[in-house]
Amino acid sequence: MGDSMGRSIHHPVGLIHNSPSSTFNGYTLFSTNGGNHATMIDNLGRVVHRWNYDGGIVYAYLLPNGNLLARTKPPGDVEIVKDLGGSSASLIEMDWDSEIVWEYKDPMLHHDYARLPNGNTSALLFKELDEEISQQVKGGHPKEDDPKRILGDVIREITEDGETVNEWEIYKELDFEEDVICPLEHRREWTHANCLNLMPNGDFLISFRNISTVGIISRETGEFLWKWGPGNVFHQHHPTVWKMGTY
């Protein structure tokens, strides 16, 4: 978990409430927006473990082997993604002692990622679209300094050696008439994907904030198998697959 920004001004830092009969008996992993560590606590709020990284840990998952797969702070010197929510300089895997055992750098990384059963890693990245596509994208709140080329989303599959073995260009599967940017949003991005979940069959469940849409993308073809959202959800995050097959 990560990107936490809420802070109560009425309570001290630490455990505020615990109802044992209503709480899963386990651990909670969290990181803070802009912080340099991820923390695991028990149900009493006691720190079980903490990972530290000077480049920041703003979002993190615990892997089955006990390592931490994390997204770092934004790249500060890349103008095209400057001030965009969810951007990161790299993905890192850390062992229990905060030693980096794997790292992948790309200033276009953002939001979410997943370790695949084959050991590769899938990740969301921005991609600058050409002017012809950018001009056809509808919606958003236009400004005089809007870029001529807006950003779309891709899913990239990366090997342990950092090689790209697959890349799904999501923007190619969108519809200019249906997939319209919310009028509250700027026109620097088309979709602003903010979640990438791996489904049991290997396909991707993904969320697009700017067009208020969630969908399932085939890993085999890159095409949408299912799409839903506008008029029903707005600026959503993190769709989840339930055991009964609903989302």
Whether residues 118 and 88 fall in one domain: no
Same domain, 113 and 41: no
User: Quick one: pLDDT at residue 76?
Assistant: 83
Q: Are residues 55 and 151 in the same domain?
A: no
Domain assignment present for residue 209? The answer is yes
Query: Does 101 reside within a domain?
Result: no
Taking only the tens place, the pLDDT of each residue in 194-236 is 999 999 999 999 999 999 999 999 999 999 999 999 989 999 9
Q: What residue numbers bound the domain in which 129 lies?
A: 108-247
Do 89 and 138 belong together in one domain?
no
User: Is residue 78 situated within a structural domain?
Assistant: no
Assigned token pair, 195: 């979640």
Give the chain's largest Cα–Cα span.
57
Query: Which residue reads 């109560």 in tokens?
Result: 8
Residues 142 and 221 in one domain: yes
Q: How many domains does the chain have?
A: 2
DSSP-assigned letters across all residues of 89-147 = SEEEEE-TTS-EEEEEE-TTEEEEEEE-TTS-EEEEEEEEPPHHHHHH--BS---TT--
**Residue 144 dihedral angles phi and psi, to the nearest 5°:** -65, -30
Contact 189, 151 (CB under 8 A): yes
Give pLDDT, residue 8: 63
* 31-61 residue pLDDT tens: 988 899 999 999 999 999 999 999 999 999 9
Residue 163 has pLDDT above 70, yes or no: yes
Residues in the chain, total: 247
Read off the pTM: 0.92
Tell me whether residue 190 is in a domain. Answer: yes
The whole-angstrom distance between residue 174's C-alpha and the CA centroid of its chain comes to 19
Residue 43 lies in a domain: yes
Query: Does residue 165 share a domain with residue 63?
Result: no
- 128 and 240 inside one domain: yes
Find the DSSP H helices in the chain: 131-136
* Closest to 94 (Cα-Cα) out of 31, 154, 143: 31
Task: Name residue 81's beta-bridge partners.
Answer: none
Whether residues 142 and 204 share a domain: the answer is: yes
Residues 162, 124, single domain; the answer is yes
